[in-house]
Amino acid sequence: MSQKRILFTGGGTAGHVIVNLALIPEFQKEGYQIDYIGSYNGIEKQLIEPLEGVTYHSISTGKLRRYMSKENFKDPFKVLKGLWQASRIIGKKKPQVIFSKGGFVSVPVVAAAKLRNVPTIIHESDYTPGLANKLSFPFAKKILATFPETMNYLPETKSVHIGAVVREELFEGNRQSGLQFLGFHKQKPTIMVMGGSMGSKKINEAIRGSLDELLQDVQIIHLCGKGQLDPSIDRRGYVQYEYINEGLKDLFAASDFIVSRAGSNAIFEFLALKKPMLLIPLSREASRGDQILNADSFVKQGYAMKLEEEELTGDRLLRDLRELMSQKDQFLQQMENYQSEKAKENVIKIIQQEEKG
């Protein structure tokens, strides 16, 4: 029997890569030949290229900007080049199926797959679909959604709600190793601050501006984003990292509460790991507002508190964090009711069905 081959795509931010990272080991176990198409410099290259047994291919990418830039005139040519490159890679590697996690790099890949007659499955993890995925929907064989509510925004005939795919390794964290690595103790609760995979300048400023008060009550792991470390801060109970990849599971295990943006992958990880969370979604001004809807859905289900970015001040952060901590048991109780939908197993089943045609 000829070798089974699957091609993954997705990138731009870690949110468009993490689900692929959760699925790749499963397909490796089943003996698939794995290819990945990403951009030349995106985070997907850093996260995927080092993986053993995965061949990473870079293609040219464009971006749709919300502002005027002379790059906007060059982008259609970059995308056409990407389409041509993706088509050549697909023609050469001959995957039986393609799995796309979205982001701009994925659009030419999904279009090329259609031209090459290879079935593509798209995954949408946000409450409302992103633009790259929307552009890709006509070319896809199936669309999978994390939130049940997202089904209202997807083509009815080929969409399925499957739930959140969470990396298996995150469940294997060790609290003691995490605390030891951080130089923290058990006497005060530990808060993890995550501004999404790229960090959030506004959240960083609010946390750093309130450190004196915060550190009286808690210890802080601050995942602040690339280029956003502040080396002038050297405080007991406060550690900062740009981005943590391999040790993240132990840091999660060491954390009692989370302060975070409301990117979909991140918040479902917090939920799966049962961490009460204060969510500060990216504002409508800076995005299509998807994180606000993600956060609202979690607030409605009793998993989270929400603090609007426009209302973010040091005082408000402290007040909301204290409230979150005082209601810990209620949040944990709601989270106990959450049943993970065996999403990973279902995605794998759907991919394998499509692969057989």
Ligand X SMILES: CC(=O)N[C@H]1[C@@H](OP(=O)(O)OP(=O)(O)OC[C@H]2O[C@@H](n3ccc(=O)[nH]c3=O)[C@H](O)[C@@H]2O)O[C@H](CO)[C@@H](O)[C@@H]1O
Q: If binding is defined by CB under 6 A, does position 271 make contact with ligand X? A: no
200 appears as a binding residue in the annotation: no
Q: Which is nearer to ligand X, 9 or 291 (CB)?
A: 291
Applying the rule CB under 6 A, the residues between 274 and 293 that interact with ligand X are 282, 290-291
197 appears as a binding residue in the annotation: yes
Applying the rule CB under 6 A, the residues between 49 and 88 that interact with ligand X are none
Do 159 and 143 contact (CB within 8 A), yes or no?
yes
Write a three-state SS string for 109-151.
Answer: HHHHHHHCCCCEEEEECCCCCCHHHHHHHHHCCEEEECCHHHH
Q: If binding is defined by CB under 6 A, does position 196 make contact with ligand X? A: yes
Do 37 and 59 contact (CB within 8 A), yes or no?
yes
Q: If binding is defined by CB under 6 A, does position 44 make contact with ligand X? A: no
Q: If binding is defined by CB under 6 A, does position 207 make contact with ligand X? A: no
The minimum distance between CB 187 and ligand X, in angstroms, equals 25
The residue within the footprint of ligand X, chosen from 126, 250, 320, 355 (CB under 6 A), is 126
Interface segment toward ligand X; rule CB under 6 A; list 79-87, 190-198, 230-238, 302-310? 190-198
Amino acid identity of 267?
I
The minimum distance between CB 249 and ligand X, in angstroms, equals 10
Do 103 and 12 contact (CB within 8 A), yes or no?
yes
Distance of alpha carbon 42 from alpha carbon 201, whole angstroms = 20
Q: If binding is defined by CB under 6 A, does position 298 make contact with ligand X? A: no
The residue within the footprint of ligand X, chosen from 239, 244, 299, 318 (CB under 6 A), is 244
Q: If binding is defined by CB under 6 A, does position 154 make contact with ligand X? A: no
> What is the biggest distance separating any 2 CA atoms in the chain, rounded to whole angstroms?
64
Q: Which residue's Cβ has the minimum distance to ligand X?
A: 263
Binding site, by residue number, is 13-15, 167, 197, 291
